[in-house]
Amino acid sequence: MPMPSNIYYWWNFGSLLSLCLIIQILRGLFLTIFYENNMTNSFERICHIERNINSGWLIRSLHANGASIFFLFIFLHIGRGLYFKSFYLTKVWIRGIIILFLLFATAFIGYVLPWGQISFWGATVITNLLRSIPYIGKTLTIWVWGNFSISKPTLIRFFRLHFILPFVLLVIILSHLIFLHKTGSNNPLGVNSNLDKISFQPFFNIKDLIGVLTTLILFLTICLIFPFLLIDPDNFTAANPLVTPPHIQPEWYFLFAYAILRSIPNKLGGVISLIISILIFILLPAFKNSKIKIINNKFIKKFIYFFWINNLIYLSLLGSLPIENPYVITSKFSRTIYFIIFPILIL
């Protein structure tokens, strides 16, 4: 397929994400052979995989840390799309955001399965957000749990969903790639032109190969030298409904949304803000034909873009800190910046 000649390594993340998904599915299939999804044995089976299965510790480390690599790449992929206005490719962009939503759901459900302290209490906190929905919230929460609290039916449902959703993701990713191949990739100039294109092989294959090798070095460094760097220490303790951890926080890729959620005192308002913080990305193609330009100076727009990115990182940092001042006040300020500056990025 002919590709714009001026695209560079920031365009590698699409192929790397496809590679990550395939590897995650293969490792997940291996883990399902030994996993047992019930309240009494789930945590012990994880310990059994880590300690007694040949190379089980490596497979589990690759799967757990692979999710973090997956999210790192998808955030970079979306960040590049925002910077170079990739949302002008409407069908491709919308499917990409749907993939992001499904990936969030898959990662959250998967984090519950080890049935450690953070797994249990994280699931309790997040699923209880459904109670904020007027009229049907309580009924919906009990329906999701399959009981009057998180228990065996919840774990069974989550395991089955975690097994099925990656294959749904695979189908949507294929449609994402099909529409991308119909329209072609954009380029740093933001111009779709057939006048300056070169063949994918061998020029971009080499770039993809370099990206794959760099990813493997990063990935294996984390899995072999720092395998527990991204895992909460409290999750090495079996789930206990009678003991609440001193500080409950989700994985790092949920922290920005978690900070937005808890920065609003009203529970329903927090849930709405949480949904909007991600949903706004799917609305971007609606502005591609807008004639309104808030700022025309490119240097200022670049400065605002990187300021917004740094604010997003700071918001994630705040999500990992205790709910106390001054973190609560700064979370509200950072949340406001997140929503106010976002329209400037696209107009």
* Domains along the chain with CATH numbers: 2-248 (1.20.810.10), 255-347 (1.10.287)
292: left (phi over 0), alpha (psi -120 to 50) or beta: beta
Q: Catalytic: which of 61, 68, 119, 251?
A: 251
142 CB burial (10 A radius; 0-12, 13-18, 19+): middle
Whether residue 74 is predicted with pLDDT greater than 80 in this model: the reply is: yes
Residues 6+ apart with CB under 8 A from 311: 334, 337, 338, 341
Q: Catalytic: which of 48, 207, 301, 332?
A: 207
* pLDDT band, very low/low/confident/very high, at 112 (cuts 50, 70, 90): very high
Q: Catalytic: which of 185, 273, 277, 316?
A: 185
Whether residue 3 is predicted with pLDDT greater than 80 in this model: the reply is: no
The long-range contacts involving 75-84, CB below 8 angstroms and separated by at least 24 positions, are 75/253, 76/10, 76/13, 77/13, 77/14, 77/17, 78/281, 79/309, 80/10, 80/11, 80/13, 82/284, 82/305, 82/345, 82/346, 83/305, 84/10, 84/186, 84/187, 84/188, 84/190
Average pLDDT estimate for 82-93: 86
Q: Catalytic: which of 197, 208, 234, 320?
A: 208
Query: Quick one: pLDDT at residue 203?
Result: 72
Q: What is the pLDDT of residues 199-210, one digit of tens each?
A: 777 777 888 888
110 CB burial (10 A radius; 0-12, 13-18, 19+): buried
**Catalytic: 185?**
yes
pLDDT averaged over every residue in the chain: 87
Query: Quick one: pLDDT at residue 191?
Result: 59
Residue scoring higher pLDDT (184 or 144): 144
Q: Which of 313, 323, 257, 239 lies closest to 105, judged by CA?
A: 257
Q: Catalytic: which of 55, 138, 149, 181?
A: 181
Rounded CA gap, 26 and 66, in Å?
12
Whether residue 198 is predicted with pLDDT greater than 80 in this model: the reply is: no
Do the beta carbons of residue 268 and residue 132 sit within 8 Å?
A: yes
**Catalytic: 251?**
yes
Whether residue 313 is predicted with pLDDT greater than 90 in this model: the reply is: yes
**Catalytic: 36?**
no
**Catalytic: 44?**
no
Whether residue 195 is predicted with pLDDT greater than 80 in this model: the reply is: no
Q: Which two tokens stand for residue 276?
A: 């909007």
Whether residue 109 is predicted with pLDDT greater than 90 in this model: the reply is: yes
Range 295-309 burial, b when 16+ CB lie within 10 A, else e: eeeeeebeebbeebe
* pLDDT band, very low/low/confident/very high, at 194 (cuts 50, 70, 90): low
**Catalytic: 138?**
no
